[in-house]
Amino acid sequence: MDTSKKTLIVFSGDLDRAIAAFIIATGAAAMGDEVTMFFTFWGLNILRKPHAPRHHKDLLQGLFGAMMPRGSLHLGLSRMNFWGLGPRMMRSVMRQHNVMSLEELMASAREQGVKLIACKMSMDLLGFSEDELIDGLDYVGVATYLGEADQASVNLFV
Amino acid sequence: MDTSKKTLIVFSGDLDRAIAAFIIATGAAAMGDEVTMFFTFWGLNILRKPHAPRHHKDLLQGLFGAMMPRGSLHLGLSRMNFWGLGPRMMRSVMRQHNVMSLEELMASAREQGVKLIACKMSMDLLGFSEDELIDGLDYVGVATYLGEADQASVNLFV
Amino acid sequence: MDTSKKTLIVFSGDLDRAIAAFIIATGAAAMGDEVTMFFTFWGLNILRKPHAPRHHKDLLQGLFGAMMPRGSLHLGLSRMNFWGLGPRMMRSVMRQHNVMSLEELMASAREQGVKLIACKMSMDLLGFSEDELIDGLDYVGVATYLGEADQASVNLFV
């Protein structure tokens, strides 16, 4: 085991949980840790490009894709969402307190070398192709996650 | 510590989180790991038999039991449930992509020797007797979980 | 790594998840483990005093504060909340089965030396001052959590 390794499974696509995940990830990276974030299910929405090219999809995937948030800027809160007012309030308060926005946290994570991984199987299920997600991701399966987690000192499911 | 051991606490009774938990569990088991899944609170619904014998219960437990999903086939999604349409869509997409259904994942987990444990205290609270849950479970308390988790390299709360 | 150390991030402010977190924490403490609970985001609501002094807050924080539950007695369930009926049912069933209430679990955790930590940044965001939260907490940032988690054998995100 290597105490300088951490992994996070980001299953949730809620703004609040995404912020928590990236604060942990960037905090660990700032301390010199090697961090891997594995995005699966709704967590993939965090990685969507707002204006992605459209592909032919079957009906169900098209429906999922159309109804889910298109990228980090469109995520809702897990609590007190109030039809989109909650996320605005949260973002506004974060600005006032000079806390980095989710988008700044994501940029900081990448600058610090946090590995962002998209779960291939979830992409298939939700109908996301690689060019619909932000650039610079790895695309892997659960075996790769497990390999990383085995060597890490902290593994969280968010 | 033994890097070939993993534990999952399955607290959630959502279809999507149940699928994620069993994909991780079966993935780890396929790599030769010893996996223990500890089902607690709503997670116990995943293990309910659809047509279980009825027992005399007090009013509150009867209410809980009547209103919660009766087994894996009746679980909802944590997001985009749409009064039961979401789970059907998810299951349909999984079939199209040759991903094992939750029920197949559960069968595979058992074949691979994944240990399925039901939290005794949660069973008491929600009023589930042993014959209302699928066969072949262990029934233990939190101390047993903690003992297993101490020896595992990966411990997740789903 | 020290197998006698455990950490929990309590992100959720749901009654059911809070109970699960404190059952794990007190169970581990009863086995002689050193346990740290790190409360962040909605999890801070668990630690609110019911009748805290009011401070001047900006509008958004005031709104958040007014709409979120004021302490452990006012938490809702993540599922089957039914406008507050669910938590009453859960508490009633717990009493019938001689399971400690959340408040008793919290008291027991403190008696057993479980370290309760409030995330400073989340306090800023949600506008909680120290005297609005129960006494005897530590107030730290993510770096402190990561330092503890690195040395622990079990780290969960609830």
The C-alpha atoms of residue C30 and residue C24 are separated, in whole angstroms, by: 10
Residues with Cβ within 8 Å of C140's Cβ and at least 6 positions away in sequence, in order, are C38, C117, C118, C119, C120
Instruction: Give C17-76 pLDDT, tens digit per residue.
Output: 999 999 999 999 999 999 999 999 999 999 999 887 767 677 777 777 888 899 999 999
Contact C9, C38 (CB under 8 A): yes
**What CA–CA distance (Å, rounded) separates B62 from A73?**
43
Give the closest of B31, B97, B157 to A124, CB-based.
Answer: B97
- CB-based contact C38:C46 (threshold 8 Å): no
Give the residues of chain B that fall short of pLDDT 70. 1-3, 54, 56
Q: What is the pLDDT of residue C6?
A: 97
pLDDT at A14: 96
Q: Kind and range of the H or E element at A89?
A: helix A85-96
pLDDT of residue C142: 95
B: neighbours with 3+ CB pairs under 8 Å? A, C
Residue of chain A whose Cα is closest to the Cα of C78: A79
Per-residue pLDDT reduced to its tens digit, C81-138: 888 888 998 999 899 989 999 999 999 999 999 999 999 999 998 889 999 999 999 9
Mean pLDDT of A86-112: 94
Give me A100's structure tokens: 């980095």
Task: With respect to residue A88, please indicate whether it lies within any of the assigned structural domains.
Answer: no
Q: What is the pLDDT of residues A106-118, one digit of tens each?
A: 999 999 999 999 9
- pLDDT for position C80: 83
C154–B150 C-beta distance less than 8 A: yes
pTM to 2 decimals? 0.94
Residue of B nearest to A68 (CA): B80
Note the ipTM here: 0.93
Q: Which of B3, B7, B11 to mutate to test the interface with C (most CBs of C within 10 A)?
A: B11
- For C95, the domain range is 2-157
Q: Is A17's pLDDT higher than 90? A: yes
A83: Cα separation from own chain's centroid: 21
Task: Identify the closest residue of chain C to B9 by CA–CA distance.
Answer: C156
Identify the three-state secondary structure at position B150. Answer: helix
Number of domains in chain C: 1
Strand-pairing partners, residue B133, are: B48
Between strands A115-119 and A138-140, the pairing is parallel
The span from the CA of A21 to the CA of A158, in Å, is 7
Contact A80 C68 (CB under 8 A): yes
**pLDDT over 90 percentage in chain A:** 75
Percent of chain A past pLDDT 70, that is, above it, reads 97
| Per-residue pLDDT, C67 | 84
Query: For residue A56, is pLDDT > 70?
Result: no
Residue among B3, B16, B23 minimizing CB distance to A142: B23
The average confidence (pLDDT) of chain A is 92
Give CA B21 to chain center in angstroms.
8
Contact B24, B98 (CB under 8 A): no
pLDDT confidence of residue C3: 61
Chains in contact with A via at least 3 Cβ–Cβ pairs below 8 Å: B, C
- Residue A1 above 60 pLDDT? no
pLDDT at C10: 98
pLDDT over 80 (residue A51): yes
CA gap B118, B80 in Å, rounded:
28
Could you tell me if residue A52 is inside a domain?
Answer: yes
Residues in B whose CB is inside 8 Å of some CB of A read 1, 3, 6, 16-17, 20, 23-24, 27-28, 30-31, 33, 78-80, 89-90, 92-94, 96-97, 99, 153-158
* A85 belongs to a structural domain: no
* Residue C85's CATH number: 3.40.1260.10
Domain assignment present for residue A87? The answer is no
